[in-house]
Chain A
Amino acid sequence: MSQSSLVVTEKRHQGASLSTYRRRAMAFGVVRSLLLCVGAIAMFVPFFWMVTTAFKYSQDIIAYPPIWFPTRVTLQHFRTIFTEMNFGRYFFNSFYLSTSITMVSVMTSAFVGYVFAKFDFRFKNVIFFGILATMMVPFPVTMIPLYLFMSWTGLIGTHAAIFLPGIFNTFGIFLMRQFMHTVPNELREAAKIDGCHELAIFWTIILPLTRPALGALTIFIFMWNWDNFIWPLIMLMEDRLYTLPVGLAMFANQYWTDYGLVLAGSTATVMPVLIVFFLMQKSFVEGITLTGLKG
């Protein structure tokens, strides 16, 4: 009798602990989802406020009490920035500059990285570590002499001044060298025995094999150039040559109280990148974890 009751209480005890455990796990689950949702909303609010402001009528932007969810929208601000202001031009400048710098520096990174990884020559390590060491130097250190260099060569105020320092990319060289190490030597030797030219080997055999690294590097370098601010700010003087970040910054300072225009400008700057991100977010995230570096 007493024994069986003991068993029963033990069973009951076990049941209770199991349900408190379950309840606790559920409570944790709820708190966790709640926290993540609050965070996600906090991430999202600035975009929401930006887009709604850009589409509101000017008087609705400064209405009191505030209009959280606009019921009427206008394209007026967008029309103004693209027709009366140079926004289309900034876009074009940013796009062609970032694209050309990215294409050139991804190619040079792959080629130089390949040579560092697969060839032997005198002073190779000295040269490589010399190049690598420049990653330690913050840009503000080289900025002033570069400015002087551009002024001596008459390049201040031109896009060449932005393009030239981007031809080689130290991080790109480093990343591609690491990646080229994983390509087996036998491939190159076999192709050589078949009489393939060294340059053809690089172009037709090696380059296609490093596509994942090339993709990550392309995204990384493009984003960096698309965002680059301080150097174009120093170099560019004319409105029609501005890149998007410089144009937007100048524009925001000049027309600050015209909130609709400024926020339409921001929306136009942000949206294309966000759309590209949505289309290829997997490569973005993989690129970040592969390269693990920011500007």
Chain B
Amino acid sequence: MALAGGKSTTRNRRGRSEETLVILMAMIPCIGFYVLFMGFPIVYALYLSFHRWSVIDEPVFVGINNYQRILTDDPVFFQSLQNTVIYALAAVLIGIILALSTALLINSLKRFVGLFRTVYFLPVVTSMVAAAVVWRWLYQSQFGFFNQVLSALGLSRIPWLDSPRYALMSVIIMMLWKGLGFNTVLFMAGLHGIPSTYKEAAVIDGANSLQILIHLTLPLLKPTLVFVLITGFIHTFQAFTEMYILTQGGPLRSTTTIVMYLYERAFDWFQMGYASAVAFILFIVIIALTLFQLRFSKTGWEY
């Protein structure tokens, strides 16, 4: 009895020191990493945003001067903010409508569900750079696919990427193509999660398809909708790659986004302080958007 008791305490002690070892093994590298690659950069970016610094000299404290200049005296910033907002709104909202329709159509099929899902998903697994290169070629003014089709149909060619009027729209169309499959799969999963008994009950009560969609499916799909909306905005507000490849921000700045502008300030002009201030404004916009949407969408649907 005494022996057994003694054994179990040593085992406990050994167990506890093992536990401590495991906790330390996980936490020390993890905390170290997050301090170094997250904590320090965030604090340092905030610090830089109140300084003027071109890397070669010492940072000069300028107070809120960077923010002031950005918000009152920087037309390019406002142009890029406007472009980003238009891009995000169009890509996310039209994208949601298209993806939801596609998901509803595919879900109502009896056969070929997997086939359609695969085809719509192809652009999602395509690397963004490669996809943008391909679309730049599709949009090419002389030999590109779209203008070849237009002229074969006897219509006039469109300067897809060469005119400030069309360039942003062209990038949006490409993103709709690229993102459709992703949201469709999410919506299909969301629709799948709605119990069919609800729909059956509505049919018995004499509801038509449109009524079922508006009063039943959409409210029950709200968690998926909110998720797609929030991640969509967070994603599109940081748009960079697609514009970098397709248009380089042009023509006439018509497709410059906030992140492109920040990149330019930081790595072409080496204005690290100014660029950090732009980054923080982007940060605040994204947080505000996220909180707004979370608040706006607060309803307790349980099923």
Residues of chain A touching chain B, judged by Cβ–Cβ distance below 8 Å, are 32, 35-36, 39-40, 42-47, 49-50, 53, 61-62, 65-66, 108, 111-112, 114-115, 119, 121, 127, 130-131, 134, 136-149, 151, 164-165, 167-168, 173, 192, 195, 197-199, 202, 223, 226-227, 229-230, 234, 244-246, 248-249, 252, 259, 262-263, 265-266, 269-270, 273-274, 277-278, 281, 284-285, 288-289, 292-295
Are B34 and A49 touching (Cβ within 8 A)?
Answer: no
Are B127 and A284 touching (Cβ within 8 A)?
Answer: no
Are A65 and B279 touching (Cβ within 8 A)?
Answer: no
Are A192 and B134 touching (Cβ within 8 A)?
Answer: no
Q: Which residues of B contact A223 (CB under 8 A)?
A: 125
Contact (A270, B126) CB under 8 Å given A65-B152, A141-B282? yes
Q: Please give 12 more A-B residue pairs, beta carbons under 8 A apart, in addition to A149-B40, A249-B129.
A: A43-B122, A44-B119, A119-B23, A138-B237, A144-B45, A146-B37, A199-B18, A244-B127, A245-B128, A259-B137, A284-B125, A295-B235
CA of A151 to CA of B53, assembled, Å: 15
Q: Which residues of A contact B129 (CB under 8 A)?
A: 227, 229, 244-246, 248-249, 269
Find residues 81-103 in chain B having any chain A CB closer than 8 Å to their own CB: 102
Are B116 and A36 touching (Cβ within 8 A)?
Answer: yes
Q: Out of A138, A270, A288, A293, which one reaches B127, CB within 8 Å?
A: A270
Q: Out of B23, B34, B38, B109, which one reaches A121, CB within 8 Å?
A: B23
Q: Out of B38, B121, B145, B283, which one reaches A138, CB within 8 Å?
A: B283
Q: Out of A62, A151, A165, A199, which one reaches B143, CB within 8 Å?
A: A62
Q: Which residues of B contact A127 (CB under 8 A)?
A: 27, 31
CA of A179 to CA of B209, assembled, Å: 38
Are A136 and B116 touching (Cβ within 8 A)?
Answer: no
Contact (A141, B23) CB under 8 Å given A168-B30, A270-B127? no
CA of A223 to CA of B127, assembled, Å: 8
Q: Out of B102, B130, B177, B244, which one reaches A270, CB within 8 Å?
A: B130
Are B21 and A35 touching (Cβ within 8 A)?
Answer: no
Are A289 and B131 touching (Cβ within 8 A)?
Answer: no
Find residues 226-243 in chain B having any chain A CB closer than 8 Å to their own CB: 227, 231, 234-235, 237-238, 240-241
Are B279 and A288 touching (Cβ within 8 A)?
Answer: no
Contact (A229, B37) CB under 8 Å given A198-B18, A266-B133? no
Are B45 and A141 touching (Cβ within 8 A)?
Answer: yes
Which partner residue on chain B sits nearest A246 by CB separation?
A: B129
Q: Which residues of B contact A259 (CB under 8 A)?
A: 137, 140, 143
B77 at interface by CB-CB < 8 Å: no
Are B30 and A141 touching (Cβ within 8 A)?
Answer: no
CA of A146 to CA of B231, assembled, Å: 24
In the complex, per-residue mask of B11-38: 1 if CB is within 8 Å of any chain A CB, else 0:
1000100110111011101110110111
Q: Which residues of B contact A121 (CB under 8 A)?
A: 23, 27
Are B283 and A131 touching (Cβ within 8 A)?
Answer: no
CA of A80 to CA of B227, assembled, Å: 45
Are A49 and B118 touching (Cβ within 8 A)?
Answer: no
Q: Which residues of B contact A136 (CB under 8 A)?
A: 286-287, 290
Are A140 and B133 touching (Cβ within 8 A)?
Answer: no
Minimum C-beta distance from A44 to chain B (A): 6
Q: Out of B22, B235, B272, which one reaches A148, CB within 8 Å?
A: B272
Q: Which residues of A contact B22 (CB under 8 A)?
A: 115, 119, 198-199, 202
Q: Which residues of A contact B11 (CB under 8 A)?
A: 195
Q: Which residues of B contact A227 (CB under 8 A)?
A: 127-129
Q: Which residues of B contact A270 (CB under 8 A)?
A: 126-127, 130-131, 134
Q: Which residues of B contact A114 (CB under 8 A)?
A: 26
Which partner residue on chain A sits nearest B117 by CB separation?
A: A285
Contact (A284, B121) CB under 8 Å given A144-B48, A198-B18, A273-B126? yes
Residues of chain B touching chain A, judged by Cβ–Cβ distance below 8 Å, are 11, 15, 18-19, 21-23, 25-27, 29-31, 33-34, 36-38, 40-42, 44-45, 48, 55, 102, 105-106, 108-109, 116-131, 133-138, 140, 142-143, 145, 148, 152, 177, 180-182, 185-186, 189, 227, 231, 234-235, 237-238, 240-241, 244-245, 258-259, 262-263, 266-267, 272, 275-276, 279-280, 282-283, 286-287, 290
Q: Which residues of B contact A249 (CB under 8 A)?
A: 129, 133, 244-245
CA of A134 to CA of B152, assembled, Å: 52
CA of A137 to CA of B244, assembled, Å: 22
Q: Which residues of A contact B189 (CB under 8 A)?
A: 289
Are B37 and A142 touching (Cβ within 8 A)?
Answer: yes
Which partner residue on chain B sits nearest A223 by CB separation?
A: B125
Contact (A32, B108) CB under 8 Å given A43-B120, A145-B41, A284-B125? yes
Minimum C-beta distance from B245 to chain A (A): 6
Q: Which residues of A contact B120 (CB under 8 A)?
A: 39-40, 43
CA of A45 to CA of B135, assembled, Å: 10
Which partner residue on chain A sits nearest B125 by CB separation?
A: A277
Which partner residue on chain B sits nearest A234 by CB separation?
A: B267
Minimum C-beta distance from A172 to chain B (A): 12
Are A245 and B286 touching (Cβ within 8 A)?
Answer: no
CA of A119 to CA of B272, assembled, Å: 42
Minimum C-beta distance from B105 to chain A (A): 5
Q: Out of B15, B31, B135, which one reaches A192, CB within 8 Å?
A: B15
Which partner residue on chain A sits nearest B184 by CB separation?
A: A39
Are A42 and B177 touching (Cβ within 8 A)?
Answer: yes
Minimum C-beta distance from A23 to chain B (A): 16
Are A66 and B152 touching (Cβ within 8 A)?
Answer: yes
Minimum C-beta distance from A188 to chain B (A): 10
Contact (A168, B34) CB under 8 Å given A32-B105, A49-B145? yes
